[in-house]
A and B are shown apart, each in its own frame.
Chain A
Amino acid sequence: MNKQMRVLRGIPVSPGVTIGPAMILDVTGLRIPPRRVSEAEVDRELERFRQAVEAAVHEVNRQKELVTAKLGPESASIFAAHIVMLRDPGFSNRVERLIRDERYTAEYAVSHTIQRFIEVLQQLKTPLTSRVGDLRDIGNELLRHLIGSQRQELKHLEQPVVILAADLSPAETARLDTSRVLGFATELGGRTSHTAIVAGSLEIPAVVGVEGLLAHVLPGDQVIIDGNQGVVVINPDQPTLERYERALRRFKLFTESLATLRSLPAETKDGTRIALLGNIEFPREVHYSLRQGAEGIGLYRTEFLFLERDTPPTEEDHYEAYCEVIRAVGGRPVVIRTLDLGADKLPGSTDEQRERNPFLGLRSIRLCLRRLELFKTQLRAILRASMEGPVSLMFPMVSTLLELRQAKLVLAEVMEDLAEQGVPYRRDIKVGIMVEVPSTAIMADYYAREVDFFSLGTNDLTQYVLAVDRGNEKVANLYSPVDPAVLRLIRRTIIVSRRRGIPINICGEMCGDPLYTMLLIGLGVRSMSAAPHSLPELKQTIRSVSVEECEKITRRVMLMENARDVEAYLRGIAREKLPELFE
């Protein structure tokens, strides 16, 4: 094989694995030459421009309906801004002036005008850069109609392909023919970008934010998109290809056995029920979670409401999102986690708010207690939504009892306000905390008197216990959720919760890896919350083991001295007990 394998990392936005030939889309890179027409052709160019605008508006409206049907009306607001811009007189006047006075072609006049607006917006110091993406979208949409659709070929695909692009607009993503498009990856975009949201609903593997994606790939190159890990492999070598083909077969196997597996309980061989819940970020992920066998939502992250916008979300923004989730889960439990972000990520924040050590800084509940207006708005919405179904409320990153009491005090105030205003809510709403700061795990017996439930957040717990930022590749090898120090804290917290009779759930990433499932059961975990794509594997694992053997494994593990021994031991056990998952 003479082609060099390249492994690139991005942000996984839609789970699954796929392998296929690359198809590269790049309208954004298209250079439009400044061509001029004769005096006689000016009117025709003007007419072409107007027709393109009408066609684009029509197209955006069509996308809007499509997305509304798929994802509900709130997702369609993405497109409202596009229509406003397409119909804007300031835009059309400039384009028409360029055509009439300079005799430029319609496509050049459009691309030049869009480019000028983008430049001006980028020079502004106000937070309007998100609009730049919208401008590019409408520019591309117009050019597509003028040039005779660069991307039309997407509709006439002969064979299944993997789409690679600098960026895909939400409209383009919604339009992908999922019978022919196996998956996609883009250079731009973030976890909460609109494109990511649409991608998830298509249920094809997708990775965004892959730096340098287009620099090393040619059309037709073999590409692997791993939407579980956020990895794109270009021209995989034989061992990598085989590894992924195995993963793919496994994935297929599970998809096929899903129907049977879904109707079976998550129960060990000796009859112990384990609650399996889904972690979600967006309301639209609920359906997928349920299809994967989730019995409810164990962690609903609400940060997306605050990201990529110019102003903080309103109470109605919160309320609508929560109600959508609650309605979708249909009477099953939902745990809503309050804002878990650093101050630097809030709308309207400035560089001065950047901290030297953000993970030890003003974030999560600490930030909420400082920004009461934000916090109260969210709490009001959660309380109001509690009328719609069994909702619990969870505070993240609590590190002292005082903080918990303060947060509960604010909650009581908000309840009082609601009662005064005659707004209905559930007074008996369950209130819990994330146990993810070591101080809280150590003091768990005290917290147990004041909360209704615990949720173990093993990602942060591990990073705080081991003092390792796993995003820092220089030290990431020190990070392991099965480091004996972390395991001792986990065990301690579980024992406390059991003694005090308060429920405990575990929701860190380790929970989604079947390698650790036996250990967790052995530690006493009876409720697990994980990324929806991992639930079938977890259920399969749970159904193949007994509590007794899990406890035996755990006893062995708890005598070990370092994470590497634990990992190696668990891997050996997993291969032996679950060959279909680990071979």
Chain B
Amino acid sequence: MHDPAGLHIRPAAAVAQAAAAYASDVRFCYGGREVDGKSVLDLLTLGAAPGTTVELVVIGADAEEAADHIARVWHEVLGASPGSANDEL
């Protein structure tokens, strides 16, 4: 979680959209709470503070591919460490 502004609606929508493309169950965990990664509202209520780490849990048939893709989208829209992949969504 690098974006100083926190997880606001535009990045949350991008992450949720990426997650919704997969059959697997996508969860984000932070501070002892767990939310549905396919829901923008859930992501907004995660309350992850800038500079902290959020855990991504994906369970299902396409889990591996899903986890890779969602993590990449997350890094892109929330401005992860410089030099990270800058591919298209």
Interface residues of A (CB under 8 A from B): 81, 84-85, 88-91, 93, 117, 120-121, 123-128, 131, 135, 310-311, 347-348
- With an 8 A cutoff between CB atoms, is B47 at the interface? yes
Q: Cα distance A39–B44 when bound, in Å?
A: 33
- With an 8 A cutoff between CB atoms, is B5 at the interface? yes
- With an 8 A cutoff between CB atoms, is B24 at the interface? no
Q: Cα distance A311–B77 when bound, in Å?
A: 14
Looking at the complex, which one of B6, B16, B41 makes contact with A126 (CB distance below 8 Å)? Answer: B6
Q: Cα distance A417–B88 when bound, in Å?
A: 28
Binary A-proximity of B12-40 (CB < 8 A = 1, otherwise 0): 01001000100000000000000110111
Looking at the complex, which one of A89, A120, A310 makes contact with B39 (CB distance below 8 Å)? Answer: A89
Looking at the complex, which one of B4, B7, B9, B45 makes contact with A84 (CB distance below 8 Å)? Answer: B9
Looking at the complex, which one of B6, B40, B47 makes contact with A310 (CB distance below 8 Å)? Answer: B6
Count of chain A to chain B residue pairs whose CB atoms are closer than 8 Å in the complex: 56
16 pairs from A and B in contact (CB 8 Å cutoff): A81-B9, A84-B40, A88-B16, A88-B41, A89-B38, A90-B38, A90-B40, A90-B41, A117-B41, A117-B45, A125-B49, A127-B5, A131-B9, A131-B44, A310-B5, A310-B8
B8 touches A89 (CB 8 A): no
**Chain B residues, CB < 8 A from A85:** 40-41
Interface residues of B (CB under 8 A from A): 4-9, 13, 16, 20, 35-36, 38-42, 44-45, 47, 49
| Most chain A CB within a 10 A radius of its CB, from B40, B41, B47 | B41
A125 touches B47 (CB 8 A): yes
Shortest Cβ distance from B10 into A: residue: A81
Looking at the complex, which one of B8, B20, B39 makes contact with A128 (CB distance below 8 Å)? Answer: B8
A433: shortest Cβ distance to chain B, in Å? 32
| Most chain A CB within a 10 A radius of its CB, from B4, B5, B16 | B5
Looking at the complex, which one of A90, A126, A310 makes contact with B35 (CB distance below 8 Å)? Answer: A90
**Chain A residues, CB < 8 A from B16:** 88
B4 touches A348 (CB 8 A): yes
B21: shortest Cβ distance to chain A, in Å? 13
**Chain A residues, CB < 8 A from B9:** 81, 84, 131
Shortest Cβ distance from A113 into B: residue: B41
Shortest Cβ distance from B12 into A: residue: A84
| Most chain B CB within a 10 A radius of its CB, from A117, A127, A131 | A131
